[in-house]
Amino acid sequence: MERLKEKVAVITGAGSGIGRAAAGLMSREGARVVVADHHAQSAEETARLIEAAGGRALPVTVDVTDEDSVAAMVAAAIAEFGGLHVLCNHVGGTNPRKDLDLLRMDMDEFDRAVTLNMRSTLLGSRHAVPHMIRAGGGSIINTASVAALVGDVLQTSYGAVKAAVVSMTKSIAVQYGPQGIRCNAVAPGAVMTPALEDNLPEDVISALKKGNALPYLGSPEDIGHTMVFLASDESRYLTGQLLVVDGGMTAQSSAAPGRRAMLPA
């Protein structure tokens, strides 16, 4: 299958988890992939996996919060592959041990959340858009979260900055739609990546499973496949939207798991 043939894709945070899965899947569909991460070894490992499977990948070390570094990442993509058609602004997150409730949250963590999630999305897009205009169009895919849609007892900053990413997605879609650039966001629910496994205790993971309509948690590939669709021309009429990929977490009433027991056998 070559749904992304002739396309060059830059994916930030591609050294691990969802970003690595998306990079592999896009390569499988024929894209040449820039594997960008601030952890050089992880980026190189993802690129090695892609090349071993017969794809083309360029590992790039980047700090997505730093404008010069982001500019250098985009320049490296152009120098190696001659253009840029897809950008996944995937890096983000907060530290749930510091990003607490309103009264107890660490304000430095709030500032870090704004920089890591919002500033990074703005910077990546800002440097990619001129090249996409030159290419006659492109697709920007921003990683949001279900946290943008529902309130929580902690991670106050995380929900707020991911909601801002959704808002920025719509602005970019409106501003550059006339030049053929689409911009969409993906809101993953609980996905089993190192970020989630390292930060959440077993009982919380089991509660997350119960909160889904489907009886399992997502894999990085579940989100990666959605990103491939958004990168491809199959989604050519889709822009400014948020695709929620959460196993039904936000569709399900909190009463549903308990009420299941009320059904006749």
Tell me which residues are annotated as active site: 158
- The verdict on 59 binding ligand NAD (CB under 6 A) reads no
Closest among 132, 91, 127 to 8, alpha carbons compared? 132
Residue from the set 10, 19, 29, 235 that interacts with ligand NAD by CB under 6 A: 19
Query: Interacting stretch for ligand NAD, rule CB under 6 A, among 47-55, 88-96, 173-181, 252-260?
Result: 88-96
- The verdict on 155 binding ligand NAD (CB under 6 A) reads no
On whether the CB atoms of residues 139 and 85 are closer than 8 A, the answer is yes
Query: Interacting stretch for ligand NAD, rule CB under 6 A, among 58-66, 105-113, 166-174, 255-263?
Result: 58-66
Residue from the set 64, 74, 164, 243 that interacts with ligand NAD by CB under 6 A: 64
- The verdict on 166 binding ligand NAD (CB under 6 A) reads no
Q: What are phi and psi of 30, to 5 degrees?
A: 100, 0
Binding mask 119-148 for ligand NAD (x = CB under 6 A): ------------------------x-x---
Q: What's the longest Cα–Cα distance across the chain?
A: 64
Torsion over CA of 44, 227, 220 and 38, rounded to 10 degrees? 30
Query: Interacting stretch for ligand NAD, rule CB under 6 A, among 51-59, 76-84, 85-93, 234-242?
Result: 85-93
- The verdict on 224 binding ligand NAD (CB under 6 A) reads no
Shortest spacing between CB 102 and ligand NAD, in angstroms: 20
Where b means 16+ CB within 10 Å and e means fewer, 174-211 reads eebeeeebbbbbbbbbbbbbebbeeeeeeeeeeebeeb
- The verdict on 77 binding ligand NAD (CB under 6 A) reads no
Residue from the set 82, 130, 136, 194 that interacts with ligand NAD by CB under 6 A: 194
Closest residue to ligand NAD, judged by C-beta, is: 17
Token reading at 79: 């120098």
Token reading at 39: 């952890």
On whether the CB atoms of residues 139 and 179 are closer than 8 A, the answer is no
Place of tokens 């990413």: 165
Closer residue to ligand NAD (CB): 15 or 55 = 15
Distance CA 265, CA 254 (A): 21
Residue from the set 168, 191, 230, 249 that interacts with ligand NAD by CB under 6 A: 191
Torsion over CA of 18, 22, 23 and 28, rounded to 10 degrees? 140
Place of tokens 């996996």: 49
Q: Which residues bind ligand NAD (CB under 6 A)?
A: 12-13, 15-19, 37-39, 42, 62-65, 90-93, 143, 145, 188, 190-191, 193-196
